[in-house]
Structure 1
Amino acid sequence: MQTTAGRLARLGFADGARAERLLDALGPEAVADFDLLDDLVSAADPDLALTSLSRLVERDPSVLGALRADPGLRRRLLRVLGLSAALGDHVVRHPEHVTGPDPEEPLSHREELLFAVGADPSLPEPVASGENALDALRASYRGRLLHLAGLDVTGVLTLAEIAAELSDLAAAALDAALAIARAETPGWEQARLAVIGMGKCGARELNYISDVDVVFVAEPKEGVDEALALKSATKLAQAMMRACSTSTPEGSLWEVDAGLRPEGKMGPLVRTLDSHLTYYRRWAKTWEFQALLKARPVAGDMELGEEYVELVNDMVWEAAARENFVEDVQAMRRRVEAHVRVSEAERQIKLGPGGLRDIEFAVQLLQLVHGRTDPLLRRKATLPALAALSRGGYVGRDDAKALAEAYSFLRHVEHLLQLHRLRRTHVVPSDSADLRRIGRGLGMLTDPVGEFTTTWKRHALEVRRLHEKLFYRPLLQAAARLPSEEARLSTSAAHVRLEALGYADPSGALRHISALTSGVSRRAAIQRTLLPVMLGWFADAPDPDAGLLGFRQISDKLGSTPWYLRMLRDETAVAERLARLLGTSRYVTTLLLHSPDAVAMLGSASDLAVRPVEALHAEANAAVARYGQDAESSVAAVRALRRRELFRVACADLGGHLDIEGVGQALSELNDATVEGALNAAVRKVTEERRGEFPTRIAVIAMGRLGGFECSYSSDADVMFVHAPNPGAEEKDATDAAHAVAEELRRLLILPTPEPPLAVDAGLRPEGRQGPLVRTISSYRAYYERWSSPWEAQALLRARFCAGDFDLGTEFMALIDPLRYREEGLAPDALLQIRKLKARMEAERLPRGADPTLHTKLGRGGLSDVEWVAQLLQLRHAGMVPALRTTRTLDTLRSAVGEGLLDATDEQTLADAWRFASRVRDAIMLVKGRSADSIPGLVRERALVSRALGYPPDGSEDFIDDYRRTTRRARAVVERVFYEG
């Protein structure tokens, strides 16, 4: 049979036998009172609660009757006694405080404490008259604290309410201390003295035991010399501080800390209002404005205090515009963290990583930066400020919720730590009994130690993550650097400001801004945070107006998509990258308008890295397989893939992560995958229509710039189609099927859809456009053996397998190699024919009116010039020099140098011109969104292209000079090597 001591141990008492003795000592009524026992075992520490109750009843036996008569009172008292040994000691000394304030005639905190020291609360400047005023103040303060703690631990008051009550109680204590100080300070009447609460006291979020941060401001009363008044006010302030901190038989209240005053502990304790303002205007450091964020008059001359707060507030909300403001606040947080003892860092809930300071610093920094232009953020307490930041879109809802939950949890833990001994501590103990008391105080009854530790660590990790995300958000530096009038977006000077930034149409820009930021939606609120900074980034781009318009269009397309604006707000690099792209490239803007979710790719450099060709082919083939016989849907998916990858390549190109050879390779490989996907879809469709086995193998041979891995953004896919009938198939039937596939492939890739088309051009096939679109490999062999001309051999220099049947493609390459790589080289008549053809092209194909020095393809020293030099070298020597057997222009030139067929200086000159012309051609497409081979003649368009190429805003003439000089040198090499060599 279980003993009483055993049952008590099972109920939660650590020492059952001792608990049994103490209960017996309370008397038979207490032993039989199961409600009393229930309240004891529900306390955080039943043993501590029972010990204090026993001492209290021993001091005043009538307490038991009062507790039995009022179950609510009993529950509150025992919950407090189970948490706080210090308040247990107090109530044993003052059992009259058990019942708390008189509910019939409730007094405010200020009234009760002033009455306790013998002062009249109705007077504007009460003076203490009671004996032992210091002891009376402490006893009365602790009695109120006992009552508030009871309301707190039983959940009657919320965290915000108890923090506000504790702050008001501290303010009342300061007023009572001031009354005591007046009684012992002759001449106190000479000055008006206001006590400004700072920190948690100022914000009405004080905890149970903390230094109370204050600043003193004084003014002489009428007719009093300022120096004399300040001397008197200083003595009064010193006496007030002693009245709070001095230790008496009733203990002390807390330290009054005036270290946040101007010049800190080195400055005068009391200053006039003008002296404060002069200091803040001239010498104040960043952290001082951060501290003033929470300033509130709490005692003394409240009218003077209100005037002080009103005047310093104007400076507080402009402080973020100071040079290096954000960096200074961040550095201050690091210094605070560095001073935490290493042995305590992991257990510090205030200053350590993931602690309260991480939340407070992040919230205050966001407030100070954005509060300049958003008065709704000007809250003193942390949780209301965090809620305002969330409502305004400055912090994501989920992030704000996580921070608020963590803050509330950590503040509850802080209260439980401090209640135990009423000592100022923020270090979580390591002793299991202490941890158990904290866990149970938080309502964790099953496994209080384990559950508390797990929850605490989870919150700390999340706080640290969000602190790093928000506190070091680069957008803060950018927003802080904005002039106030620009940050508001709505001043009368906005039109002039936008014009000065470089917007050609300020009125249009203002309409876009208004459309994006108007209203009370969360989306509009976030836009109001983003746009002031992004306007500057658009202005740094070549075309600010186009950038802002594109941003509005994309924002409208994405609508309320949750991740879009959140990503731009939280990841500044993405927002800046997007602004530069939209302000530079209409091509990129158009791609995004058809697929705005591609903005997500801007999140990291790895997302913008060009994908391996194998991955492109796999995804294209998977898209075709997914849609089965629906060829149009299949190729629509393949074209959507191409659009997304075009965006990726363009971003990498404009960002300087790809050189022009890399761009050409990426675009060519993307076109290969697109053609292969379309070919597979076309074969499926034709096979289904024929209702039988497809009768032939088919391969696509890349030609021209596609074959040379030198595609531009506007390149067609130059190809030839070859097929080989299956054994037993009729050639005509096979050719008809192959022709149907080729036509269907071409149709599918240019269907009118939002996706960029890819025109398939088979004009380089035998007999050109007059010849059959598709031939068998034997037909190609017969043609080339009998009819091939030098220009066809030259065209075949760029031929390579692109898509379809690999073995057939390999067989075709073997077929044409002897034709394009002749061992005997180029006959003199063929050489003459090629030179004449080149000269005729120069004379006839250059568009009428085009400046031959500015045409990137056919102009002097342009792409065609360089490519014909490379191809002539191949036709003359590749039969004997395997190194020249490449489809790439620059590889050919490099190999020619290695084989002694071209001077290295000439190769460099030609390569520079080819790269420059290729970059210009791509830049024209990127900037204008449509292709052109000539450098624009319009000054504005030319400037946009030059900026896209990396030239400064005034560098368009340098760009033209550089281009002409580079191509002129290349043309001189062409004249010598191609026409004379």
Structure 2
Amino acid sequence: MVNQSNKVLSAQLCVVAERYWIRLCEVWPQAQQQLTQNQQQQLQQVFGLSDYIGEQLCRHPEWIGPLFDGLLTTVNRNDFDNQLQQLLSPVTHEDNVKTVLRLYRNQQMVRLAWRDFMGYSSVEDALLDLSALAEALVIAARDWVYQDMCRQLGTPMDSEGNPQPLLILGMGKLGGRELNFSSDIDLIFTFPEHGETQGGRRALANQQFFIRMGQRLVNVLDQITLDGFVFRVDMRLRPYGESGPLVVSFSGLEDYYQEQGRDWERYAMVKARVLGPWTHYSDELQQLLRPFVYRRYIDFSAIESLRKMKRLIAQEVRRRQLSDNIKLGAGGIREVEFVVQSFQLIRGGREPDLRQQSIFGAVDTLYNLGQLEYLAVDELKHSYVFLRRVENLLQAINDQQTQTLPNNPLDWQRLCYVLDADDEAQLRQKVAAAMAIIHRHFNATVGGDEHHDQQEPWTHVIWDVCDDDDALSLLAEHQVEDERIWLLLKTWRATVLKRAIGPRGRETLDKLMPKLLEEILQLTQPSSAFEPVSMVLDKILTRTTYLELLCENPGARQQLVRLCSASPWIAKELANFPMLLDELIDPAQLYDTTSIDDYPSELRQYLLRVPEDDMEQQMEALRQFKLSQQLKIAAADVTGVLPVMEVSDHLTFLAEAIIEQVVLQAWHQVAERHGVPAQMNVSNMGFAIVGYGKLGGIELGYGSDLDLVFLHDKLPAGCTDGKKPIDSHHFYLKLAQRIIHLFATRTNSGELYEVDMRLRPSGSSGLLVSEIARFGEYQATEAWTWEHQALVRSRFVFGSDALAGQFSQLRAKVLQEPRATDELAKNVREMRLKMREHLLKVDKNSFDLKQSPGGIADIEFIAQFMVLAHSNQQRDLTMWSDNVRIFEALAEFELMEFAEVQLLTQTYCQLRDANHELTLQQKKGVVNIERFAEQTEQIKRIYQHYLASE
């Protein structure tokens, strides 16, 4: 490299330099006295070349002295780790960690940029320095977050009591130790073994610990603060991309790559490297990944995939007109990487020396193996080094992630100054020459025709850069009048072309899209179907198995289009949980909903497929069962097979079946650790669950949460009989906590149900699980009127017959207490007003189906009031928890006019039906005020009649 210190800046660069020098002198008046003439001259030179350096040093003039005192002359990469450890060891708060990391990063980046601009380091050294700095920052942040979380939550352990670390795979240029100046960093997080934390207030599954840790770590590195960021972090290379868990175990990684790994992921894994100090876990992880990346044989099967990828690159270049992009353009940096990595994939299984992350090292190995001629190696290396220098300088000008040549004279002057070019034209010529050499070797290595054969017309419309008039003409030829479909298709295509799908996925997508588009274009409004269908496609683009499923199964394709066009909610479910696409294969099965009474036995049969001792798989199976059954219910719903009342029945009894299995799993897990209370066993738990709200009223909807109250029988004094005995009351507390954990834990298939426990005695401040007799006492002596209203809609959903009988008796006793009607009406009315003030937020022309006057909540309050007011005389009123049967009973006992009951019931069902439809359309439960005006006016009159003050 040539030292730039004796060269002279252009007039325009001098103006920039002078501006920064003046700013520096304002914040550091002693600059001229404390810096030598030579130092001032060099400082002004670098000010003219980099706005980033200028801005940072004007903010932190204290960095200048150490730079001139030796930091510019040499870089000891080990210092990064040591210095960061010293800086972070006394820090106790995460915000301070962010500040320390960002300031250190900026100080070191200024140093490395200065060295690059002034020619103090070679390109190879500059990239190594940047990579070492990035790795040190990532590992320092990881270690601090890990230690902090262990203090808070306990230490994650394996089954043998060994602490489990978070391992980080550096991908791309960070993995290859060839990081750009302003590159983002691609990472994959993993950990060795499942288990639980020890030493915290409660045990937490290792995966949950590391997911939380990963979220914090990304935030520590990626969040933009007043001091900037450390690195932009990209986690999309992990298994399943953005839809996958943030952190998976070694076994999870291995299963994914064995079963679902795609070609593009093999390319990505060539550069994967475990960051930080090397341990036996690092060895284990690299050994685990090797069979996926490097085949045992010479893998010539990769050549056709390479050709297809080449065509995609060429298409991308043409589409985006990337003539000035030195990374993605023809002959750009990516093509060098592609040439080298293709050799590594083809021959790395047989040649261990090729299994390395560095481009420079791999090129030398290819020469030693006789795979590349000396001239090819020389030309590729020199051209690549030149383009990487240009890229690094481009980014160091203003710490921006760019690979596009400048669009302004100032930045061209900066590049020309550093790269010894007379002017822009000469430098452009040098860049073009380097890219031409690379592109020639790229073509020679991969071969194949640059151009596709002409494909069928829809494929042409979908993938080629198609003229608007041509596309619209083709649509018109096929009698498609919905021109918006073309705009949506163009937008979707632009997004897809940026995604790394992989050759096999691209090939399948090429076959699928014309078939899918044909299905969509048969509809009256194709665009309304394409939007939700494309949302599903976006989530499965990198999961070739699902693309192939749709490609090979016309029935599945038809159901996808049918259901997505009918319900955006279903489309969202399919997009979030692509495994549901399996349910579309057989339409007869899809619409054959499970009988209401059969959900428990169906779920038990489903769980038999999963080992009892595999808690993670059991939890996943519960979620998958719920999702698949919910999809069947929704499919029958949107096609009119099930009326809304039956939909709620199905969703409610599905939830009850799941509650039963969750309690059983929780019981086994707690019992295995602590034993069980005296005289208790899995057949006689002495434990019950009461459902409130929609669950109690048999009115669950899609996405409803579960309002639950936990009860237990009277307990004998004493402890459990296990390895770690605990007090019997404590046992039921742990059981309740484990049940909530099993419901709330988010796995690949999402959360099971959101559980709301606020209706328990004393609300959020009350015990999580109550003795049933104490529950009765609370309801009789301490509960508010609104709690008795809630009790009207309560129902026993799990437990023994004996406990069910006790609950029914105490519920009836509380509801049948004599009440002063006026006082009761006043309390119910005030509660309704309070709820309306808090929850009703619509304009005067809109009607909130639930909260507006005359809506669902008013009808529910009428039912609750009537039960509380009249159960003392008509005790059978307490038999039901659902509003429809409560109103039927009120008519039977002549407590309400039959016409009133008929109106209340019909309006209630109509409003719920409308709310239900809006949920499936992913819309709020709000309609035009005129839609139900006639019915709701009558509801308001009935409400006033029964609940109005005198």
Higher Cα Rg: structure 1 or 2?
1
TM-score by length of 1: 0.43
TM-score by length of 2: 0.45
